[in-house]
Structure 1
Amino acid sequence: MHGTIEQAGEASLREAREKANSMRLEDFDPGHPELFQTDTHWPYFDRLRKEDPVHYCKDSMFGPYWSVTKYNDIMAVDTNHGVFSSAAALGGITIRDAPPDLRRESFIAMDQPRHSAQRKTVAPMFTPDNLDELAINIRKRSASCLDNLPRNEVFDFVDTVAIELTTQMLAVLFDFPWEDRRKLTRWSDVATTLPGPGGLVATDEERMAELNECAGYFAKLWKERASGPPRNDLLSLMAHNDATRNMDPKNFLGNLILLIVGGNDTTRNTMTGSLYALHRHPDQYRKLRENPALLDTFVPEVIRWQTPLAHMRRTALADTEIGGKKIRKGEKVVMWYVSGNRDDEVIEKPYDFIIDRARPRTHISFGFGIHRCVGMRLAELQLKIIWEEIFKRFDRIEVVDEPKRVYSSFIKGYETLPVRIAA
């Protein structure tokens, strides 16, 4: 069974490589979501890094855009927030421009000085002392989740483990009503999905209706937190801070969605990706079982290998130049983290999954500069603890079929991953 599945994957990748190598570069549209859903985007980025590292696509489902594909060029854009804007009003942080009436400011889709003022309000949640406290909670919930997994039957790892654990974590961070916690998962998925027939939502209007429900639910909680004494949860931190206590409704919803998606999508897809990576590299699985101390380097290597957010986007505030290409003011610039993390000029053997890399943190999955992921240490902690707890219980969790991937060139994730645990 496995041989057949993996051979099918290799055949589609071979086909994609032939297609990518025979196409004219000017016809490349590396941001098409189908390439990510089929996991065939790799050859396109390989060729761009070699032949056209700063590439202009003049026509796509998202309009024209520049692709920045090499690690050092991405770093140059990500750290130059004076020239490359994240502002929601200019289109925000994804390749897809939100329709003007749906644009919501959040501190990730905001420039200085307001960005840092709002970001600082939630930073206390991720201090070392607070992470130590959260670790106790994460371990207890991970143990409970794993103890209740079925034996000798196929189940979906994404829903049963990855979504459940990250949704529980979000509910703790927001002090959100426990029985309603799956609403957080739904709102996260709705916020990042591409509307269309057969998708989670058919139209932007439908999406907005669900996100307004999210805003209404949180507004009630906000009122409670704002009128009570300060507490240690994300809502209370924002409700009691001058930079965020008087946010307009769009900014309020924008920051909520940012924190929900940041705490949900990225961690759950890396958690699933960690199991899939070990399945694809059984030698590394053995190495990790024999030496669990390697979890410290395994975690950042998984985050690089998976790259849970494929890209971040900026808008040029002035005419500028990257890699010898002239970028005009107002043009869309997409930093492909997924490509930077496979750049062999910076990362040795980037396609290999090596859990004891000498410099495993040389990756760009969390972004860089002022917008670097505020919760990255928490994401690493969750991943480390779940594997410590898995190793206490199971020899292995067997992947029985290929994952179904998300139709998105922003969220690089999994819809399902069928697995089984032997009795």
Structure 2
Amino acid sequence: MNAPPLALADVSSPTLYRDDTWREHFAAMRRDDPVHRHADSPYGPYWSVTRYADIMKVELDHATYSSASEMGGIQIADQPKGQELPNFIRMDPPRHTAQRKTVAPIVAPTNLANMEGLIRERTAAVLDGLPRNQTFDWVDRVSTELTALMLATLFDFPQAERRKLTHWSDVAIANIEAADAVVKSEAERMAELTTMAETMAALWKERAAQPPKFDLISMMAHAEATKAMPMREFIGNFGLLIVGGNDTTRNSMTGGLMAMRESPAELAKVKADPKLIDSLVSEVIRWQTPVIHMRRTATRDCELAGRTIRQGDKVVMWYVSGNRDETAIEEPERFIVGRPRPRHHLSFGAGIHRCVGDRLAEMQLKILWQEMLLRDLDVEIVGPPVRLYSNFIRGIRSLPVVIRA
């Protein structure tokens, strides 16, 4: 039987994440009503799923909880009617499976091993090029630069134009109501993404006429599942790959620095035992939780944690809450390097939609911390972060720092 509704906060407000004031609201929900129905919100009624175990149940039951674009997609905000941009994360099997298989080889273990030297070389060059005793923006000079370099490599996109990829990622995830949004309307967003599609289509045409190569554009141009995508699906898939390869890693690179500066004992622990870097990387990804939520839509009436969910209901899995669930993670509000199960977190999702590039993200973060420790960089944060106005990406737009020589 459904319990009576409780007076719990609407956690869909982007202000909570821009101001970093979300924790107490989720703690109350996990304690009092872990699968809670919000009858009214700017995004319509929805269910909040806030505990680790319940989120996993939703993740692993894709037959009951759909990701399909035509059902509403993966964000609490519905895509504008008639302007849906389907992609493989906004699909259910079998289409999801076929399209995901097309791009998965680029992040297979053998290819990651081949890319490790290049990532290390670039990371070293970026760190060595940073100013000393002078304030600069860590997000721009390190997090964004390293992820843009990697994205351009994955697409075999011109490196001189790599910041276009960052810009299109920002456009794709922008909340148009934010004062500092890079686009101010859905029409403006679509115009920018159309420019992206035209740029990618020109490269696609070149690659399709050549023998298959090992980059994302060539792989998609030659695969049966993707070579004849409609334009909206083409835009959707490139938007997904750009955001997926950019936002999660760059925000973890910045969030990790903040966490380590706030937890000097953990930094000392890793300096004393560099073998802990793998654990550090996983804890950074849990702590930052770069994707705040994922949404599903119920395909049938069902029950979750004793609550009756109806067909068509919007079900929102709050990863930021699951990663702070006291029943699943010991002392979740502490940043702890060396946890017994460091990869026990929800930041990559689970099941068929688990992040395809999770190992690449971990490797980029691992190399960054290895190279920072090798140089014994003393990075001091000298001002507050500017956080993204979003309920989907837990992003950091800028962070002023100084490296003391």
Q: TM-score, normalised by structure 1?
A: 0.93
Taking the TM superposition and a 5 Å limit, the aligned residue runs for 1:178-189 are 178-189=159-170
Distance, in Å, in 2 between the alignment partners of 1:182 and 1:337 is: 29
The structure 1 residue matched to 2:32, chosen from 47, 51, 61, is 51
Shift of 1:402: 2.1
Q: In 2, Cα distance between the equivalents of 1:196 and 1:345?
A: 36
Pick one of 348, 353, 371 that aligns with 1:389. 371
- Asked if 1:325 is matched to 2:307, the reply is yes
- Tell whether 2:63 aligns with 1:79: no
Specify the alignment match of 1:117 in structure 2: 98
User: One-letter code of the match for 2:294?
Assistant: M
CA distance in 2, matches of 1:417, 1:397: 11
Q: Is the 8 A contact 1:37 1:406 kept in 2?
A: yes
Alignment partner of 1:97 out of 65, 78, 87: 78
Please give the residue correspondences for 1:338-417 in structure 2 after superposition, counting only pairs within 5 Å.
Answer: 338-417=320-399
Retained in 2: the 8 A contact 1:31–1:409? yes
1:19 alignment partner in structure 2:
none
Q: What SS does the corresponding residue of 2:82 show, helix, strand or coil?
A: helix
- In structure 2, the residue matched to 1:261 is 243
Partner SS for 1:101: coil
In the TM superposition, 1:182-201 aligns within 5 A as: 182-196=163-177, 198=179, 199-201=181-183
| AA aligned opposite 2:264 | P
Task: Measure how far apart 1:272 and its partner are.
Answer: 0.5
User: How many matched pairs?
Assistant: 400
Q: Which runs of 5+ in 1 are unaligned?
A: 1-23
**Shift in Å, 1:403:** 1.1
Residue aligning to 2:285: 303
Which AA in structure 1 matches 2:108? T
Report what 2:87 is aligned to: 106
1:15: which partner in 2? none
Report the CA distance between 1:196 and its aligned residue. Answer: 2.6
Q: Does 1:175 align with 2:156?
A: yes
1:33 aligns to 2:17 (yes or no): no
CA RMSD between the two structures = 1.0
Match of 1:212 in 2: 194
CA distance in 1, matches of 2:304, 2:262: 36
Q: CA, structure 1 residues 131+197, in 2 after alignment: closer, same or farther (shift >3 Å)?
A: closer
Structure 2 runs not aligned, ≥5 long: none
What's the CA shift for 1:121? 0.3
Paired residues for 1:13-28 under 5 Å? 25-26=6-7, 28=9
Q: Does 1:157 align with 2:127?
A: no
Separation in structure 2 between the aligned mates of residue 340 and residue 112 of structure 1, nearest angstrom: 25
**Is the contact between residue 8 and residue 28 of structure 2 (CA under 8 Å) also seen in structure 1?**
no
2:109 is matched with which residue?
A: 128
SS for the counterpart of 1:420 is: strand
Superposed displacement of residue 55, structure 1: 0.8
What is the TM-score of this pair, normalised by structure 2? 0.97
**Bigger mean CA offset, 197-206 vs 345-354:** 197-206
Residue 197 of structure 1: how far off its partner (Å): 6.2
Q: Give the match's secondary structure for 2:7.
A: helix
Runs of 4+ with deviation above 3 angstroms: 24-27
Q: Which residue of 2 aligns with 1:8?
A: none
| Letter matched to residue 348 of structure 1 | E
Aligned with 2:316: secondary structure? strand
SS state at 1:28 partner: coil
Letter of the 2:211 counterpart: P
SS at match of 1:333: strand
Asked whether the equivalents of residues 26 and 56 of structure 1 are also in contact (C-alpha less than 8 Å), the reply is no
**Contact 1:195/1:204 (<8 A) preserved:** yes
Aligned residue for 2:212, secondary structure, equals coil
* Deviation, structure 1 residue 70: 0.3
AA aligned to 1:57 is: H
CA distance in 2, matches of 1:96, 1:136: 40
Distance 1:141 1:72 in 2: 39
- Residue deviations 1:5-64 (CA, integer Å, cap 9, x gap): xxxxxxxxxxxxxxxxxxx93352011100000100000000000001011112212121
Q: 1:274 and 1:137 mapped to 2: Cα distance?
A: 22
Cα distance in 2 between the residues matched to 1:89 and 1:380: 32
C-alpha distance in structure 2 between counterparts of 1:178 and 1:159, whole Å? 16
